[in-house]
Chain A
Amino acid sequence: MVRAALASKRRIGKGPSRFAAIIPAATVVLASLLTALPIVSTSGWYPDFGFLAFIGWRLLRSDPWPAWWAAPLGLINDLFTGGPIGLSVALWSAAMLALDLIDRRTQWRDYWIEWAVAAVFLTLDEWLQWRVAKYAGADVPWLAMGPPLVISICVFPLVAWIVSRIDVKRLGR
């Protein structure tokens, strides 16, 4: 009985997954691909799944992928979501840089701070999309962007939880 209590739950020979290095990036691409689902949204209140997964991974770990992968991941997101090409490339690269600076400054982190940081980045994302749509001729009032923003901020904890589960599986813990 004592032995059983002392024994680690970890089974011998169980290590990180063979694709541990690319699983984070692959899940971000999969999240971008969710727009391929045959759902016709007339209001456009679905969150930006690709960016949610991206921020979720980056807040969980400082090195889910090499920093420069942000650009190609953003390009894939732009192509699949049909947004203006280059928006996610610039935004996601800038988010990598900004989050590194934030990592350097913050003394401690908890769920609330992570949620607040994610909320700031999601707001920035919506604002940029709104701004670019304005330049492209679709001048929507800023208030109309409220519901999708609130929805994506509320969905973030769920995404962060899914990402952390995938991370545990990925590292074989």
Chain B
Amino acid sequence: MATARPGWSRRAQYGLFFSFLAVLAGILVGLILLTLSLVAPARFAAVRGAALDATAPITSALYEVTSTAKGMVTGAGDYWDAAHQNAKLKRERQVMQQRMIEARAILLENRELRAALQLRERARDAVATGRIVGSSFTSPRRFAILSAGRSDGVRVGMPVRSAEGLVGRVIDAGQLASRVLLVSDRSNIVPARLLRGGIPVISQGRGDGTVDVRPLEVGRNPFKRGDIIITSGTGGLYPPLIPIARVIRLDDDGAIALPLADPARTSFAIVEPPYEPAAEAEGPTP
């Protein structure tokens, strides 16, 4: 369809016209699909899961190669300056042991208080463990690929965390892999609170690897640099007391914080069942 009129041949003219119609049909189908995926995202769950499974083996295999290479480099770096590091670690261990004894005492006290209050502990078992093996490259959305899927019990809407903190929640689940909406995605709003003082705040991603934190009550800016934000458990999707982010910069009515669980360095991520079983993840998905 490069020229306006391909000569006198009727056949060529019809061919050109039909290819024009085919492209128009392509645009129409694309717009219909786009509307459907915005209005009813669940409709494409199966096909999205299948696409995840198709690339999961490649991604996982390549991940092994790169992590081995990275491990060799950092492993060699650790031998450098070993004596100095050893002394530093010993000092840190001393401090940690004191802290641990304090923590044990607090734990004991906590248990007694709970028993007194007759609080029922909700047992939380991990559904699955996987690795963050990839992510969305472009687009304003922030997704990560987790190497655990439906066959491991992962379902859409489950919260994902790592040892360092909250990672996000599952939005697509294939048999072998799943897609996680990171806390740094703009549409991921996490009810949270300040570790220092327990002031309720809201954490919302900024799409560039950081999160915005805002206090629920308008007024004084309660944040300080270095503050830790933890989940509050409100809403029932994310379990309470998971660290989310550390404040790095203040602005007029809130602060910008850096997620503690950096998906690029997180080795293992744990998928947990929704905190309140009734709370299914509703809300925006791609």
A residues whose Cβ falls under 8 Å from a Cβ of B = 33-49, 62-63, 66-68, 70-71, 74-75, 79-94, 96-97, 100, 103-104, 129-130, 132-133, 135-140, 144-145, 148, 152
Contacts and interface: CB of A to CB of B under 8 A. Distances in A.
A81 B136 CA distance: 6
A71 to B, nearest CB: 3
For the complex, would chain A's binding face be called helix, strand, loop or mixed by DSSP majority? helix
Contact of A87 (B22, B23, B30, B132): B30
A64 B145 CA distance: 33
Given A84-B286, A86-B32, A38 B187 contact: no
B263 A132 contact: no
Interface of B: 1-4, 19-20, 22-27, 29-38, 44, 47-48, 51, 54-55, 58-60, 62-63, 66, 132-144, 172, 179, 184-187, 205-209, 262-264, 283-286
A37 B48 contact: no
Nearest to A125: B138
Contacts of A43: 208-209
Contacts of B138: 44-48, 81, 129, 148, 152
Contact of A138 (B25, B137, B141): B141
B38 A84 contact: yes
B136 A37 contact: no
Contact of A35 (B2, B60, B134, B263): B134
Contacts of A136: 38, 141, 187, 284-286
Given A100-B1, A137-B186, A140-B186, A42 B35 contact: no
Contacts of A40: 132, 134-135, 144, 263-264
B37 A35 contact: no
B37 A85 contact: yes
B48 A96 contact: no
B139 A133 contact: yes
A144 B23 contact: no
A37 B60 CA distance: 9
B134 A39 contact: yes
A44 B51 contact: no
Contacts of B63: 38
B2 A89 contact: no
B27 A94 contact: yes
